[in-house]
Structure 1
């Protein structure tokens, strides 16, 4: 079974924007470069820069739907990230040195009845993925098409906040990969587990408004609440849009 890389995405600040890439270098045992490099701790969180923390420690789309409409553009050489949102002016800032500018920018997007964002967290050497191991996420666009058909409405694959979008495969084939190694471009990844989905996916990534019962559809039509799979990079290499994906073992 062979598919292709249809798109590459990273999320410099966890739950606060996505950006497309044409190509990227994956490194064994690491997340995608600059993916979830920072996370936004809320006022009740104990997370700091010392270690990985679970997603409940951070502001995220499951609790604040408007965050889903943020787009990002990072400049690794300058150390800056530019954020855009339909309801906010663009902001370019250094997350390591200008956190307050970001907190002021994002405050109007946060529900007043939720724990408010208070600081940016960055753990040296890894992105703040939802998994306690450094992971990349794979999404099958045919599975997304199955959701669009089942829901009778357009479901953008950006709702799922994945890293690698794949085409040319049967719907839900990705769940058969668990425990197997894939070659993607020059890199190899070991698929570890399905991704159980949360309320963030009910929000439209163009508007930040909840407008689709993705979780109900997954459960009632497909018998699970999973979409996409987490994988661990086991062999370093470059990947680019158009590259093939192949199941090795």
Structure 2
């Protein structure tokens, strides 16, 4: 069956917005460029040098309103613009100390008061993915449609915060690809492991309100909470929408 690249997404600030791309240049051993380049550490974070695991950061699993943020990154200047239905847009530079406080002031109303509060923006020289290795998240649009049918409602791709969405695979057949390589455009990626999901996927990315038991639906149908795959780039190259996907 012919498969192709249906969507490309990146998330410049981990858990704080997404944007869609038409193409992107992947590099061997690296995350998708600018994906999770920054993360927002909370006031209880215990950060090490470099990459740190997700419990150190403000994220949608604890603050579902974050799921409604959209982002736009100007790569040339490092300027990010965020939009949220309940906030005025904000444009700032995550690397600029003078821009931190205005960003934190903008963000705090979206974080429940009983949760650890946003404190600073950090970066690590690699994407702050949930995997300990630099990964690209590959997901199946066919599996998403199947889960949507099982739940009786359409589910947005943005619940899942993936990078590369493949169309044309048989639903759930992607789990058979672990340990194998795929080619997309001029790039090659090795499928490493499944992605186990958290309750951030239960929030509507249009509103940031929890409205769908995605985890319960996965458990009921399949006995697990896995959706999507982590992959590593083994050979760099440009990938574009509609590029064919091959084993």
Question: 1:13-92 residue pairs with structure 2 within 5 A?
Answer: 13-47=13-47, 50-92=49-91
Partner Cα distance (1:14, 1:152) in 2: 30
Partner Cα distance (2:41, 2:105) in 1: 14
Q: Report how far residue 154 of structure 1 moved.
A: 1.5
TM-score by length of 1: 0.97
Deviations 1:136-183 (A, max 9, x none): 001100100111111111111110000001111110011011000110
Instruction: Specify the alignment match of 2:149 in structure 1.
Output: 149
Do the aligned partners of 1:138 and 1:166 also contact (CA within 8 Å) in 2?
yes
Q: Report how far residue 2 of structure 1 moved.
A: 3.4
Partner Cα distance (2:231, 2:81) in 1: 28
Partner Cα distance (2:2, 2:119) in 1: 45
Instruction: Specify the alignment match of 2:190 in structure 1.
Output: 190
Question: 1:1-249 residue pairs with structure 2 within 5 A?
Answer: 1-47=1-47, 50-97=49-96, 98-124=99-125, 126-247=126-247
Partner Cα distance (2:44, 2:14) in 1: 17
Please, which runs of 5 or more residues in structure 1 have no aligned partner?
Answer: none
Do the aligned partners of 1:47 and 1:121 also contact (CA within 8 Å) in 2?
no
TM-score by length of 2: 0.98
Q: Report how far residue 101 of structure 1 moved.
A: 1.8
SS, match of residue 115 in structure 1: coil
Query: How many residue pairs end up in the alignment?
Result: 245
Partner Cα distance (1:136, 1:179) in 2: 15
Partner Cα distance (1:176, 1:2) in 2: 16
Partner Cα distance (2:222, 2:100) in 1: 42
Partner Cα distance (2:32, 2:2) in 1: 22
SS, match of residue 8 in structure 2: strand
Please, which runs of 5 or more residues in structure 2 have no aligned partner?
Answer: none
Partner Cα distance (1:62, 1:2) in 2: 35
Structure 1 ranges of 4+ moved more than 2 A: none
- The alignment yields a C-alpha RMSD, in angstroms, of 0.8
Partner Cα distance (1:206, 1:150) in 2: 21
